[in-house]
């Protein structure tokens, strides 16, 4: 049985003061702090890259978990803003930086805010089918590379971060149920243009509040569980106002669903692992994760603590 063993993350040292940005965009600080919910945004500096941030996340993982690099058989990276345009695939570059063995599968996957939930299922399925025991799943999607500096809708929102999750045959959490959905017809709501990232805030908002709660409740039903059976709900940290209302519409008690993006902003596929890293110390019995965004793509999964024998 494969599952999540441990998680670590990395925030780059660069910071953008969101209240200063708010001034520039003639936006009230109260709106930025209370509605968007972001005070500071971590930002890649010139020397930072998907590879360097992922390697830093790996070093943090090594500080909390004994890892024998010779045992790593699989590296998967989730990003839509890879180094060198994704050629070579960034997982190969991370493989080189970490000096991993040649008998190691490496590939990238291109998903945004649903990427962590998708990626966990992808790497576990691939490893299971190939008889692998230890693998690393990285997320790092520096949206700062594609932000239009004149677009307040996105500049006030997105932060850069990286995470790594150790997938192991001695896991602490195993997957019990997952659901994946796509509304390709709505993909224009969040896209890259020649001017940079373009977001239709209303379309993304409607999607988050109308489609995501349905999937969360559908996943619970198919697992024959209800909200009371879940200790922790980790929803993609898009913006405070959107999260508060998505949580409310899904019927989730607010105290079970942390909103923590004041110092990170929306870190795309890294937002859920950033939360998970902090919350795993509390040993929740069942965790529901739900990621949603570009695509439009959304994914929900329930993980359960493995009973130690």
Partner 1 sequence: MKREEAVKLVMSMLEKNVEGLEMSEDKMDETLVNIGVDSLDVMLVIMDVGEAAGVAISDDEAETLDTPKKIVDFISS
The contact set with partner 1 (CB under 8 A) reads 31, 35, 200-203, 205-206, 209-210, 241-242, 245
Smallest gap, in angstroms, from Cβ of residue 186 to partner 1? 10
Nearer to partner 1 (CB atom), residue 173 or residue 292: 292
Separation of alpha carbons 91 and 78, rounded Å: 9
Nearer to partner 1 (CB atom), residue 203 or residue 259: 203
Residue that is written with structure tokens 């149920």 in the block: 177
How far is CA 124 from each of CA 104, 106, 120, 136, 218, rounded to the nearest angstrom? 14, 13, 6, 10, 22
Smallest gap, in angstroms, from Cβ of residue 35 to partner 1? 5
Nearer to partner 1 (CB atom), residue 43 or residue 240: 240
Smallest gap, in angstroms, from Cβ of residue 153 to partner 1? 10
Nearer to partner 1 (CB atom), residue 209 or residue 227: 209
Task: For helices 50-64 and 90-97, give the axis angle rounded to 10 degrees.
Answer: 50
Three-state DSSP at 84 gives: helix
Nearer to partner 1 (CB atom), residue 121 or residue 153: 153
Nearer to partner 1 (CB atom), residue 140 or residue 208: 208
Smallest gap, in angstroms, from Cβ of residue 203 to partner 1? 6
Smallest gap, in angstroms, from Cβ of residue 202 to partner 1? 5
Exposed/middle/buried for 230, CB within 10 Å: 0-12, 13-18, 19+?
Answer: buried
Separation of alpha carbons 224 and 273, rounded Å: 25
DSSP 8-state assignment for residue 99 = T
286-293 vs 232-235, strand pairing mode: parallel
Smallest gap, in angstroms, from Cβ of residue 23 to partner 1? 17
């Amino acid at each position: 049985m494969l599952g999540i063993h441990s998680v670590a993350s990395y925030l780059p040292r660069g910071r953008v003061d969101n209240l200063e940005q708010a001034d520039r965009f003639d936006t009230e600080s109260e709106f930025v702090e209370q509605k968007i919910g972001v005070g500071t945004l971590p930002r890649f500096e010139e020397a930072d890259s998907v590879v360097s941030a992922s390697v830093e996340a790996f070093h943090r993982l090594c500080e909390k978990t004994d890892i024998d690099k010779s045992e790593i058989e699989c590296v998967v990276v989730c990003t839509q803003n890879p180094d060198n345009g994704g050629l070579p695939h960034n997982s190969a570059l991370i493989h080189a930086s970490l000096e991993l063995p040649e008998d190691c599968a490496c590939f990238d996957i291109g998903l945004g805010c649903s990427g962590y939930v998708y990626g966990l299922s992808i790497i576990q399925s691939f490893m299971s089918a190939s008889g692998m025991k230890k693998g690393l799943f990285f997320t790092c999607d520096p949206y700062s590379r594609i932000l239009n500096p004149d677009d307040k809708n996105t500049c006030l929102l997105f932060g850069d971060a990286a995470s790594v999750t150790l997938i192991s045959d001695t896991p602490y959490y195993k997957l019990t149920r997952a659901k994946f959905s796509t509304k390709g017809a709505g993909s224009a709501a969040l896209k890259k243009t020649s001017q940079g990232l373009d977001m239709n805030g209303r379309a993304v908002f409607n999607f988050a509040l109308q489609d995501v709660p349905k999937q969360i409740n559908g996943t619970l039903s198919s697992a024959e569980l209800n909200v009371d059976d879940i200790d922790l709900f980790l929803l993609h940290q898009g913006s405070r106002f959107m999260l508060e209302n998505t949580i409310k519409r899904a019927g989730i008690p607010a105290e079970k669903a942390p909103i923590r993006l004041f110092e990170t902003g929306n870190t795309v596929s890294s937002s859920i692992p950033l939360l998970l890293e902090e919350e795993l110390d509390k040993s929740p019995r069942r965790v529901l994760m739900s990621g949603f965004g570009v695509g439009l793509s959304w994914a929900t999964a329930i993980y359960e603590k493995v009973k130690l024998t």
